[in-house]
Homo-oligomer: A and B are copies of this chain.
Amino acid sequence: MPWVECVPNFSEGQRPDVVDAIRAAVASVEGAHVLDASSDPDHHRSVLTFIAPPDRVGEAAFRAVRAASRLIDLDQHQGQHPRIGAADVVPFIPLRGVTMAACVQIARELGDRVARELDLPVYLYEEAALRPERRNLAYVRRDHYETLKNTIETDPDRAPDFGPSRLGKAGAVAIGARGPLIAFNAFLDTANVQIAVEIARAIRESGGGLPHLKALGLLVGGQAQVSMNVVDYRRTSLFAIMQRLRAEASRHGVAVVGAELIGLIPQAALIDAALTFLQLPPETRNRLLEQRVGLATGDYAELRFE
Contacts and interface: CB of A to CB of B under 8 A. Distances in A.
B180 A305 contact: yes
B279 A256 contact: yes
Interface stretch (A113-121, A160-168, A262-270): A262-270
A100 B305 CA distance: 9
A155 interface: no
A273 interface: yes
Copy tally for this chain in the complex stands at 2
Interface stretch (A11-19, A71-79, A136-144, A280-288): A280-288
Contact of A265 (B264, B270, B289): B289
B239 A277 contact: yes
A107 to B, nearest CB: 15
A303 B95 contact: yes
Given A267-B288, A304-B96, A293 B3 contact: yes
B296 A301 contact: no
A171 to B, nearest CB: 28
6 contacts: A51-B293, A259-B278, A266-B289, A270-B274, A295-B302, A300-B300
